[in-house]
Chain A
């Protein structure tokens, strides 16, 4: 009997090992193929290019991973990204006039960035509040926020881009530090903090417990609502980080920025092996998922594949990744 159990779990562990590396293997195959097919892929410039491009998605997808681990979803990150970037750009460029008391508040780069981050976190917190207080399903609550935040972005920008934000601000998205683009540094910091959070802190543990079995977590004395509020606020805050990076890189806050970014983030989470039903997954998996999507995008462009086909291929890859993931975990279902 006991031997049987051990063999059984041994086998499980083995397949788990294979599964852990299967996306890594897929990425490797993808890179080798692209290297053979085009001589532009394996160059230093292109590598930085890809990494800079995926850094925004990595930030958003990291927040998304936390949300999905609690068995939630955040559809509003694209709009939150746009509003946060626009708020930061607007405050930096135009300041904040308060006519009633005849006051004008000017913003430094740091002040504007912090204000943008706070807007993102506040919107995320609002998501968490409607989800926990009024029991609105996360899908619906964040779908509503997707529209609200987009509308607020248009109101704030009056529908026009806010451009020419100055060299200091532009450094965030375009600058280099120690030979590495700043956005890449930022995404590395975000990932390191998130990995520590999920693996080494109480909050991280609670995130997995809530996603794995919310009822058991509640009965163990965990304050479910507090954890969810924090997680959605983090997701909003990280969307804002992405918004500021994009605004800075383009030297312009576009009212249409970030449309459908939530889908890329969810795709990265899913390809990275995090279960949409919560409780299972990892930040590093998501990073890998984001890299795969980034390399795929880059490769399809280099190969001159039409943008229409690019979308079809991307969708097919997502589907394939999840099917492979499912086929290995039937026993858990």
Chain B
């Protein structure tokens, strides 16, 4: 049995886990449920040795586990299959599986034959029909996921954590995966399975544990639970925003129109190509764009924002006029703003202060001659700090020290300063706490009410349902559904999002 006892983990500005306790049984699959930001990932990162500074105790049978490194956890028999793939693209399947655990012969050279044989065995067991020598970069996302699972099997781990293992794989592959999980269960292993897809959990899990806002909420037998009950426990509150959609919106003018947009080659590993995407957004309207990992949501936002000018074809109209963006700069000048998916990587200069990050889009308005007008700059920043209720000691605080929600508000603030007509938000509430989430939802409604055309990309269905006037669904780089909010349900959206013909 694995005991998690009174675990608390704090980050600057957020308590990610608050006195969490749970027990996990051998030979059982335990589903860990909770919304993004509930603390699941943080807890799993502690279990797998990513975070070593926390309060509380973890024990396996009678043995206290103290990991200061991922390797310690692996040696102790804990393996985590991460949601974001941790493979080295230029290395082949075999090299990735054995990375850090290479077999060497008596001379200290790599024993490629032994590794090759073992890899072939593993791949056969997982029904993955590729050569061990295929570079990982040439595999589809689903296949890469299977390679990750092969890594875990190689470890012969006692505790296997799977974080959204099916987010990018086809039904057929899911069946194979569940077969593997079943055999792991028979081998008396502890399996922790994190997923948003409740139907899957009812198929595979024995127990469930629900978390919310960093706290343990409830556990029980999967057989005794039902769909509605679990959702209520996860959400723990009614999401009932008084949506501006109910109000008759004045003068709805089409602000953004996309015609047959194609993106030829993915920019990065796991990136999607886009095929013939067409849609339009009116002023005062909030579009929710849903899709599974790898569906092309982020690529679509980037293509509209002028990030892949040489790879994009199709037509974009802003305010009825056809435009062609060669860079984000062009898109911004046309009145488009993008809150990127990864705010730390693409949204903020973490080492600079709040004021500098907010003013970065509008410095040309803040000049006196060739010099910057620091008074005006400070006024601007303070206006958005108070308007968006950004919690910061002052505008001089380094953005790195802010909590996730406040960092996101800084990103939003820098775009509001620019007064965009069209606001694209890619996963605007990822990894931020519930309070800040609700503030951002409210803000989205306010901006729409003020006349902006808004596209919210999200992988959280409750979020999509809460903020949208209309839901667009993507799958494998195509738009597969366009559903008015009145007719949208979790089922109808998910049906359109799941790939039909992978492999």
Contacts and interface: CB of A to CB of B under 8 A. Distances in A.
A6 B350 CA distance: 18
A223 B327 contact: yes
Given A5-B12, A9-B401, A212-B352, A218 B393 contact: no
Nearest to B394: A9
B271 interface: no
A209 B329 contact: no
Interface centre among B333, B350, B352 (most CB of A within 10 A): B352
A275 to B, nearest CB: 9
Interface centre among B15, B340, B349, B350 (most CB of A within 10 A): B349
Interface of A: 1, 5-6, 8-9, 196, 200-202, 205-206, 208-209, 212-213, 215-223, 279-280, 332
Contacts of A212: 349-352
Contacts of A201: 370-372
Interface string B326-359: 0111001100001010000111111110001000
A280 B352 CA distance: 9
Nearest to B12: A5
A202 B349 contact: no
Given A5-B13, A202-B372, A221-B361, A279 B349 contact: yes
Interface residues of B, number: 35
| 9 nearest A-B pairs in the assembled complex, by CB-CB distance | A212-B349, A221-B332, A200-B371, A213-B349, A202-B363, A221-B329, A212-B351, A215-B346, A220-B360
B23 interface: no
Contacts of B328: 218-221
B371 A196 contact: yes
A208 B372 CA distance: 15
Contacts of A206: 363
B372 A9 contact: no
A211 to B, nearest CB: 9
Contacts of B372: 200-202, 205
Main secondary structure of the interface of A (DSSP, over half): helix
A9 B392 CA distance: 11
A216 B349 contact: yes
Given A201-B370, A201-B372, A221-B361, A213 B401 contact: no
B244 to A, nearest CB: 28
Contacts of A220: 328, 332, 360-361, 414
B349 A209 contact: yes
B22 to A, nearest CB: 25
A326 to B, nearest CB: 16
A214 to B, nearest CB: 9
Contacts of A332: 351, 400
A212 B347 CA distance: 11
Given A9-B393, A205-B363, A217 B340 contact: no
Interface string B51-80: 000000000000000000000000000000
